[in-house]
């Protein structure tokens, strides 16, 4: 079974701090997606990365796909309480319909 | 905006009952998925369907079946509910083609408790 390990599992920080969330696997992914899930709702797509070494920015969020396409990171600059939620990475190993989801990082940003 | 609607937000059933979870999407998407979400385990794929009447097993299909008679509707069936099937169930849909670059649109989930 392919696994996507995310770290840390939980993170509680003060507003204005920076943070990085990691998504790691021993498998190579054709593409990797990041989702955010808020309480009582389903996950919502933030970004898709497809090229090794690719960096994408979404306002204060920076996403990077590892050169070998086995890992990814999400960096948040100057976190805000609105960033609170569960962050999930999801990888596609073979261009199929199936996604492998990570274990999730639960982020809480305190005002 | 894509809308994926799950029929119930909360559901309580008894061991041994046959349970139906319904999901409807309004964007004419070919692909539909059922996941369960448990703390520390992320989302695990139960079944997915890439066309009407087509289905494929995901990673944890045991104890579940699915039905896709119409393009917009994908049903998850617990044949004989057991307590270890207590979980959050999420339905998703996506446009046709491979997983890469195709966002999945999720419903808000059904929290199912089996007593």
Q: Give A36-83 pLDDT, tens digit per residue.
A: 999 889 999 999 998 999 999 999 999 999 999 999 999 999 999 999
Q: What is the pLDDT of residue A110?
A: 96
Give the closest residue to B35 by CA, choosing from A100, A14, A68, A92: A100
B-chain residues within 8 Å CB-CB of A106? none
Q: Which two tokens stand for residue B5?
A: 């609607």
Average pLDDT over residues B17-34: 94
Q: What is the pLDDT of residues A70-100, one digit of tens each?
A: 999 999 999 999 999 999 999 887 666 678 8
A104 pLDDT higher than 80: yes
Q: How close is the nearest chain B Cα to the Cα of A95, in Å?
A: 5
Answer whether A7 touches B (CB < 8 Å).
no
Residue A1: pLDDT band by 50, 70, 90 thresholds?
low
Q: What percent of chain B has pLDDT over 90?
A: 74
Q: What percent of chain B has pLDDT over 70?
A: 94
A-chain residues within 8 Å CB-CB of B100? 30-31, 48, 50, 92, 95
A-chain residues within 8 Å CB-CB of B108? 40-42
- Least CB–CB distance from A97: residue in B40, B41, B50: B50
Residue of B nearest to A96 (CA): B98
d(C-alpha B111, C-alpha B52), whole Å? 26
Answer whether B59 touches A (CB < 8 Å).
yes
- Least CB–CB distance from A42: residue in B44, B94, B108: B108
Q: What is the pLDDT of residue A30?
A: 85
Q: How close is the nearest chain A Cα to the Cα of B40, in Å?
A: 6
Residue B102: pLDDT band by 50, 70, 90 thresholds?
confident
Answer whether A38 touches B (CB < 8 Å).
no
Q: What is the pLDDT of residue B101?
A: 61
Q: What is the pLDDT of residue A65?
A: 95
Average pLDDT, chain B: 92
CB contact under 8 A, B42 and A88: yes
Higher-scoring residue by pLDDT: B46, A1: B46
Report the DSSP pairing between strands A19-24 and B105-106. Answer: unpaired
B45 SS3 class: strand
d(C-alpha B63, C-alpha B46), whole Å? 10
Answer whether B44 touches A (CB < 8 Å).
yes
Q: What is the pLDDT of residues B43-94, one digit of tens each?
A: 999 999 988 989 999 989 999 999 999 999 999 999 999 999 999 999 999 8
B100 pLDDT higher than 70: no
Give the closest residue to A89 by CA, choosing from A104, A78, A77: A104
> Residue B55 pairs with which residues in a beta bridge?
none
Q: What is the pLDDT of residue B107?
A: 96
Residue of A nearest to B110 (CA): A40
CB contact under 8 A, B40 and A98: no
Q: Give Cα separations from A48 to A67, A102, B37 (angstroms).
A: 15, 14, 21
Strands annotated E in A1-111: 5-7, 10-14, 19-24, 31-37, 44-49, 55-58, 61-65, 71-76, 85-92, 100-101, 105-110
């Amino acid at each position: 079974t392919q696994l996507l390990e995310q770290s840390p599992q939980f993170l509680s920080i003060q507003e204005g701090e920076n943070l990085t969330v990691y998504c790691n696997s021993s498998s190579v992914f054709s593409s990797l997606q990041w989702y955010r899930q808020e309480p009582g709702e389903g996950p919502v797509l933030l970004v898709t990365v497809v090229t090794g070494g690719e960096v994408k920015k979404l306002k204060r969020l920076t996403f990077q796909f590892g050169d070998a396409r086995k890992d990814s990171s999400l960096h948040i600059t100057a976190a805000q309480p609105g960033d609170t939620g569960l962050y999930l990475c999801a990888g596609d190993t073979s261009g199929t319909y199936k996604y492998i989801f990570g274990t999730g990082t639960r982020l809480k940003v305190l005002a | 905006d894509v809308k994926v609607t799950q029929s119930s937000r909360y559901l309580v059933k008894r061991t041994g009952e046959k349970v139906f979870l319904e999901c409807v999407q309004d964007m004419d998407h070919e692909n539909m998925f059922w996941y369960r979400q448990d703390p520390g385990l992320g989302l695990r794929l139960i079944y997915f369907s890439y066309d009407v009447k087509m289905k494929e097993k995901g990673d944890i299909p045991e104890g579940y079946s699915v039905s896709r008679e119409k393009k917009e509707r994908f049903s998850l069936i617990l044949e004989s509910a057991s307590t270890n099937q207590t979980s959050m169930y999420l339905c998703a849909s996506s446009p046709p083609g491979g997983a890469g670059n195709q966002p999945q649109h999720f419903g808000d989930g059904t929290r199912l408790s089996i007593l």
